[in-house]
Amino acid sequence: MMVLCLDFGNSQLKYAWVEADHIVDFGILSDSNFESISQICQNKALDSIILSSVIDVPLELINALKNLAPFHQLSSSSLTQVDYSNYDKSTLGVDRICIAEGAQTLFPTSNHLSICLGTCITYNWIVDGSFKGGAISPGLMMRTKSMHDYTAHLPLISPQMDFPLLGQTTSSNLLAGIMHGILLEIQGYILALRKQDPEIVILMCGGDAPYFAPRLEDSAIHFENDLIWKGLAALAHLNLGL
């Protein structure tokens, strides 16, 4: 079964074709018009469509997608493998529901923490299949831009793969503070949860994960670039009865 997964985020409109839990193709849409989506559907055996969006989606697009194939728009009322009986799922962004579902699909018998480094950094903690809690903090570009925007003289810097522990110029001070601030935050959450649960599985995904993966010298951390797609595909099967 070929599932078209659409992920409309704050920064990008992404898509992936998933068949039998394998990512067949993926990319970025130029806009949210139906014409852009219909173009990527050419020569594809489309069985269903699932949409996760944290932005407003035009009703015209929703209706067009419904006419194209069996369609589901992810919401807090969607069926999930993850149990939210101890958490108000209506307050949880659909992007985090996707990530939690992907982690549960990959590790159904383990407790796990999923860390996604996107516009914001999110943490999803699941114990015995139940969503236990999480956290949200500013993402890499948000931190970079905010220190420039909310001060008179601090420059706007660009993230770099190689960054110092402590800088010797204003720019390198900013780089050190932003990059190590995120790195130490991630390491702190991992350390704190491992003290409670030494066997917890740690997963990481998101567009900014490559900046920090080389610094997290931990073979037990699973870097899952396709975590959100695996979650969306699993949610499509569950909610569309595939």
CATH for the stretch 2-75+232-240:
3.30.420.40
pLDDT score of 216: 86
- The binding site for ATP comprises 7-14, 119
Q: What is the pLDDT of residues 44-73, one digit of tens each?
A: 888 999 999 988 888 888 999 998 899 999
The chain-wide mean pLDDT, for the chain, equals 92
Residue-wise pLDDT for 159-173, tens only, equals: 999 999 999 999 999
Q: Which CATH superfamily is domain 89-141+166-228 in?
A: ATPase, nucleotide binding domain (3.30.420.40)
For residues 54 and 117, give the distance between their C-alpha atoms in angstroms, rounded to a whole number: 16
Inter-helix orientation angle 170-196/140-149, to 10° = 140
Residues with catalytic function: 95
Would you state the pLDDT for residue 31? Answer: 81
Domain boundaries, the chain: 2-75+232-240, 89-141+166-228
> Does 89-141+166-228 match 2-75+232-240 at the fold level?
yes
Q: Can you list the residues of the chain whose pLDDT is less than 70?
A: 219, 242
